[in-house]
Structure 1
Amino acid sequence: MADELKRRLVHSSGAGLVALYLLAAYLDLGLTWERFGVLMTVLAVGTIALEFVRLNVGLDLWIYEKLTRDYEQDQFAGYGYYMVSMTIVVLLFPEEIALPAMLMLAIGDPISGAVSDNTLRRVKSTKVLVTMFVVSAIIAAPFLYETPLAVLAAALGATIADGVKVQIGDFIVDDNLTIPIYAGVLAWVVLEFVPV
Structure 2
Amino acid sequence: MEEFSLKKELQRKTVHVTSVLIVIAYFFLPKTVILLILTVLLIIFLELEFVRIDLQLKLPVFQQFYRDKEKDRLAGHVFFIMGAIIAISVFDKNIAMAAILMTTFGDTCAAIFGKRFGRTWIPKLKNRAVEGCMAEFIVDLAIGFMFLDSWLIIVVMAGTATIVETVVNKMDDNLLIPLFSGFNAQMLTYAISWGYLSFAII
**Pairwise same-fold verdict (TM > 0.5):** yes
Shift of 1:48: 2.1
Shift of 1:18: 1.0
Matches within 5 A, 1:4-153: 4-22=9-27, 25=28, 31-117=29-115, 121-122=124-125, 124-144=128-148, 146-153=149-156
Aligned to 1:169: none
Aligned-pair identity in percent equals 28
The residue identity in structure 2 corresponding to 1:72 is: E
Query: TM-score, normalization: structure 2?
Result: 0.82
Task: Tell me if structure 1 keeps the 8 A contact 2:80–2:175.
Answer: yes
Task: Tell me if structure 2 keeps the 8 A contact 1:15–1:103.
Answer: yes
The residue identity in structure 1 corresponding to 2:60 is: W
What are the ranges of 5 or more consecutive residues in structure 1 without an aligned counterpart?
26-30, 167-171
Task: Tell me if structure 2 keeps the 8 A contact 1:89–1:184.
Answer: yes
Q: Distance in 2 between matches of 1:61 and 1:52?
A: 11
Q: Which stretch has the larger CA shift, 108-117 or 49-58?
A: 49-58
How many equivalent residue pairs?
183
Shift of 1:70: 1.4
Q: Which stretch has the larger CA shift, 112-121 or 1-10?
A: 112-121
Shift of 1:149: 1.1
Aligned to 1:155: 158
The residue identity in structure 1 corresponding to 2:157 is: A
Report SS of the residue matched to 2:79. helix
Which of the residues 5, 8, 17 maps onto 1:3? Answer: 8
Q: Distance in 1 between matches of 2:60 and 2:76?
A: 17
Task: Tell me if structure 2 keeps the 8 A contact 1:122–1:165.
Answer: no
Report SS of the residue matched to 2:64. helix
The residue identity in structure 1 corresponding to 2:34 is: F
Report SS of the residue matched to 1:67. coil
What are the ranges of 5 or more consecutive residues in structure 2 without an aligned counterpart?
none
Q: CA RMSD in A?
A: 2.0
User: Once the two structures are superposed, what CA deviation does each residue of 1:121-143 show, in whole Å capped at 9, x if it has no partner?
Assistant: 52733222221111111011121
List 4+ stretches of structure 1 deviating above 3 A: 117-121
